Amino acid sequence: MGALALPLALLLLCAFQVCSASEGKCCANRVAPWNFSLDFVPHILHALDQYRPCSSQPSDPDCECHALTIRRDLGPYAEAGITRSMMAQSRRLGVVYQVIDGRIYRQPEVPHPKRCADVEDMLLGIAGELPNVEFILNVRDWPQVPFLSGFTGPVFSHSVSHQHLDIMCPAWSFSSVSGPPLQRFPHGIGQWGHMRRHMAAAAAQVSWEHKQPIGFFRGTRSSTERDTLVRLSRRSPDLVDAQYTSNVGAETVDEVPFSGHCQYKYLFNFGGITASFRLRHILLCKSLVLHVGDQWQEFFYSSLKPWVHYVPAPSNATVESLEQLLVYLRLHDDLAEEIAERGFQFVWQHLRLQDVQCYWRNLLQEYAKLLKCRVEQEPEFIEVRKQTKALQKFEFPGLCQCDPLLSGQLLRHEQTAVP
């Protein structure tokens, strides 16, 4: 393969360089020489050899794929359990919820009421299957329990790092359009059950062969890790199209809906303030996802395996290393397509809305077993009841019929950029 690498690379560069008609030739001399010493095939083969399906049944009725995350996050409490004093510590760090006899109660005043309401929508669907339990939900953007803080109280958070002890739970965005600066449908997030079908439909419209063979990223400058790819894009626009949609004091471009990402073969995912809500969406594009860094996690991340479902890249990757990686992937198109397909299949089969509900149910059932104190209803708490939320009704062509006036408002409404 080494003897063919340079000719193949030049052919690829010729195909994507922008040259004037009068030149009538490839502009290869305008591009820095590539380093073809990389060989990721052994990594891929080893990952595939070690990989085992996360569920004994393809339908995964008991959401086995995510069970390890629950065991790991509850591990620190497995021996001594969760005491009343621990719960008292946690109460100041989030919203207190109680489930008593199949009914849900919470404290009356909450930060981020919309986020709470979205989580409540999910919990109301499983309340009858839950034991009596009390837990603290963090609806802020960042986790609350640093590893070395000496704090022992349990807090549920949507995203954690290796330096935190928060218990991971599904983010509010699975049942809503709310979140960190993200647009609403059609440009960003909608209710997950609809969005996954919408993204799969967008992916079906563009076959692998017809995707643009370049890297792609659109988002805010919420992390400096993203700067390297943007610099590469400026240097080699034939290889990467990466631009910021929000960056104080610098040039920006318009955002691109998640479905628009499916036009490209290589999609980059970065962490932002914490984990980005982008990953599960772009995996459904049937494009190859390059997941940069591993600091921030969501509950389903550990079931995704590098080189099986996505291509990993270090958070301190240089411009040159990202450049070489993209060229390598171009030269190994079949391998890239196979990884992209496996990433799609995982999200399609194991990150359904029913899997998210199943995770909540299993998490709270296992968590309740660790409580060493009886759950007693707080007299000032309010009962959470089903509510109709107009903003969760969207028009997904071919999927559902909704209020046309509302849909028109959403289509015209400009929101903040996708991170």
Tell me what pLDDT residue 344 has: 98
| Residue-by-residue DSSP string for 324-356 | HHHHHHHHTHHHHHHHHHHHHHHHHHH-SHHHH
d(CA 51, CA 45): 10
The pLDDT value recorded for residue 415 is 32
Is it true that domain 181-295+302-350 has CATH number 3.40.250.10?
no
Q: Give the mean pLDDT of the chain.
A: 82
Active site members: 141
- Of 265, 221, 225, nearest to 241 (Cα)? 265
The DSSP bridge pattern shows strands 264-269 and 288-292 to be parallel
| Bigger pLDDT: 381 vs 417 | 381
Is beta strand 95-100 parallel, antiparallel or unpaired with respect to 133-137? antiparallel
Length of the chain: 419
Going by C-alpha positions, the residue among 173, 178, 182, 144 that lies closest to residue 160 is 144
Q: What's the rounded mean pLDDT across residues 271-277?
A: 76
Question: 164-191: per-residue pLDDT in tens?
Answer: 999 999 999 898 654 444 444 444 567 8
Share of the chain above pLDDT 90, in %: 65
**Residue 254 per-residue DSSP state:** -
Domain layout of the chain by residue ranges: 64-171+354-386, 181-295+302-350
- How do residues 187-218 score in pLDDT, each as one tens digit? 456 789 999 999 999 999 999 999 999 999 99
pLDDT tops 60 at residue 255: yes
- Which residue in the block uniquely carries the two structure tokens 């040039």? 251
pLDDT in tens, 363-405: 999 999 999 999 999 999 999 998 633 333 333 333 333 333 3
Most confident of 6-20, 146-160, 365-379, 402-416: 365-379
* CA dist 186 → 162, 211, 216, 243, 250 (Å): 33, 21, 19, 20, 26
Contact criterion met (CB below 8 Å) for 275 and 301: yes
pLDDT tens for 102-129 read 999 999 999 999 999 999 999 999 999 9
Q: Helix or strand or coil: residue 21?
A: coil
**Which two three-digit tokens encode residue 104?**
């849900």
**By C-alpha distance, which of 219, 217, 213, 214 is closest to 229?**
217
Task: Band the pLDDT of 320: cuts 50, 70, 90.
Answer: very high
Helix 227-235 × helix 319-331 angle, to 10°: 70
DSSP state letters, 138-201: --SSS-S-BTTS------EES-EETTB-PEE---GGGGSS-SSS-PBTTTSB--HHHHHHHHHH
